[in-house]
Amino acid sequence: MPGKTKRKYVGDLMQLNKTLKRPLSTIKNALPFNYNAETILKAFIKYYPLLWNQLDERYNLYHAKDLYLKKHGKKMRYKPLKAKDYILSLPQIKLWLSRGMITKHQANFDEKERLKNIAILEAKRNKALEKRNAALAKNTETIQNIEPLYIDAFITAYHRKGIDINGKIEIFNELKKFNNKKTLDFFYKLNDAERNTQVRNMAFSHLQSLGKYVKLRGGFKGKSKSYMTEKSSFDMTPADLLFRIESDTVQSIKTFNFFLSHSIRNRKTVLDTIKRLNEKNYTVYCDWTSDNDFLKRSLIGDYTKTVLKKRLEQSEKLLLLSTKDALKSEWVEFELEYFQNLGKPIYFIQIDNYTDNRLEEYLPFNLTEPKD
């Protein structure tokens, strides 16, 4: 392993060992009278599931790098340990599993004290996990868990020679709206190899927001080129999006299984519906999630309406979330009328009485065609 790469990898390991020291110490006082390696692993997974997942992701990340090197006739550099083996290789855990430490633990063991420690640990961990899970849920609430047909075309377009910073950010923003293996691999590669500092930092931040294991790549050696320091605020309008759709760009190749017609007042229902449609392998167009970089509510006007017409044309079906608010909306009326003129199928789900615990009742996916 080259000197610099080795130092970075070893430094990463040292930081990881330091990060794990405190979590592992909290488990020590919750171990039963008889414990072993399996007991320790189960406790760690139970109380620190996100850390466990990150260890697993770390292994997959570096293992994939080794496989890539091997495929191209080079020596594997990293040889990472799987999460289980990594935990058990730590000096702290080796000490716990030594005969002397087990004997000492059993000599001082107090079951009442252990149960008290477990109660304290569970209270702290449950609170921390709730907070972390709430943050992850917020970060991912508008992301669709599906792989659209046009993903490969977007990734290819990103690497096309001559693409400028706005083009890169546009494609970046489009791909971050989806969670699948291809997009995650794409963002990891940007974090590793993208030479533009702004985009590389964006990839790092996005992966972090998803709770993924990721290390920020530092700057590249040598003289900085202009494209490496180029920046953009990507402040776009509905007119900019319309221009892109009509100019045979990546925006013009998008397709959607469903155009979701709805009222913004039913936000929670809209997001739940998108998730359920994704589970059925359907891609969904929703203006404030699918085109949020361009269709700003402060800029609503004729360009917005023309863009929606284009998106309606790119959609196979329209699904109306039929609520009192939706039926009063002039935008819903416009979408239904335009889609009907296109001669495409229109479906609806009546959800005026929607509640979280009755989601299955109102979203059975035997979609109903409205009667004339």
Reply yes or no on whether the pLDDT at 132 is more than 70.
yes
Domain-embedded: residue 198: yes
Q: At 198, is the secondary structure helix, strand, or coil?
A: helix
Q: Report residue 318's pLDDT band, with 50, 70 and 90 as the boundaries.
A: very high
Looking at the structure, do residues 131 and 78 belong to the same domain, yes or no?
yes
What pLDDT score does 26 carry? 93
Question: Are the CB atoms for 258 and 346 separated by under 8 Å?
Answer: no
Of the candidates 190, 186, 195, 122, the one whose C-alpha atom is nearest the C-alpha of residue 154 is 186
pLDDT digits (tens, 9 = 90+) for 108-125: 999 999 999 999 999 999
Strands (E), the chain: 256-261, 284-285, 315-322, 346-350
Q: Return the exposure string of 59-95: e unless at least 16 CB atoms fall within 10 Å of the residue's CB, then b.
A: bebbbebbeeeeeeeeeeebebbebbebbbeeeebee
Domain-embedded: residue 69: yes
Looking at the structure, do residues 130 and 15 belong to the same domain, yes or no?
yes
pLDDT digits (tens, 9 = 90+) for 240-283: 999 999 998 999 999 999 999 999 998 998 999 999 999 989 99
- Could you tell me the residue range of the domain that residue 92 belongs to? 3-140
Q: Please state, for a pLDDT cut of 70, what percent of the chain lies above it.
A: 93
Q: How many other CB atoms are found less than 10 A from the CB of residue 242?
A: 19
> Which domain-ending residue is among 184, 203, 229?
229
Q: Please state, for a pLDDT cut of 90, what percent of the chain lies above it.
A: 78
Reply yes or no on whether the pLDDT at 297 is more than 90.
no
What pLDDT score does 226 carry? 80
Reply yes or no on whether the pLDDT at 5 is more than 80.
no
Over residues 302-326, mean pLDDT = 95
Looking at the structure, do residues 112 and 11 belong to the same domain, yes or no?
yes
Reply yes or no on whether the pLDDT at 308 is more than 80.
yes
What pLDDT score does 218 carry? 74
Question: Are the CB atoms for 57 and 65 separated by under 8 Å?
Answer: no
What pLDDT score does 12 carry? 82
What pLDDT score does 355 carry? 55
pLDDT digits (tens, 9 = 90+) for 18-50: 999 999 999 999 999 999 999 999 999 999 999
Domain-embedded: residue 65: yes
Catalytic residue among 57, 174, 194, 335: 335
Looking at the structure, do residues 264 and 340 belong to the same domain, yes or no?
yes
Question: Are the CB atoms for 228 and 197 separated by under 8 Å?
Answer: yes
Tokens of 69: 């090197």
d(CA 206, CA 28): 34
Domain-embedded: residue 316: yes
Reply yes or no on whether the pLDDT at 330 is more than 90.
yes
Over residues 147-162, mean pLDDT = 95
Over residues 155-175, mean pLDDT = 96
What pLDDT score does 365 carry? 57
Q: Mean pLDDT lowest for which of 144-158, 282-296, 298-312, 340-354? A: 340-354
Reply yes or no on whether the pLDDT at 15 is more than 90.
no
How many domains is the chain partitioned into structurally?
A: 3
What pLDDT score does 20 carry? 94
Domain-embedded: residue 201: yes
What pLDDT score does 118 carry? 96
> Which domain-ending residue is among 209, 229, 249?
229
pLDDT digits (tens, 9 = 90+) for 337-366: 999 999 999 998 887 655 555 555 555 555
Q: Is 111 a catalytic residue?
A: no
Reply yes or no on whether the pLDDT at 147 is more than 90.
yes
> Which domain-ending residue is among 140, 169, 189?
140
Looking at the structure, do residues 249 and 323 belong to the same domain, yes or no?
yes
Domain-embedded: residue 133: yes
DSSP string computed for 25-71 = HHHHTT--SS--HHHHHHHHHHH-HHHHHHHHHHHHHHHHHHHHHHH
What pLDDT score does 278 carry? 94
pLDDT digits (tens, 9 = 90+) for 192-251: 999 999 999 999 999 999 999 998 877 777 677 788 889 999 999 999 999 999 998 999
| CA dihedral of 164, 170, 171, 177, whole degrees rounded to 10 | 160
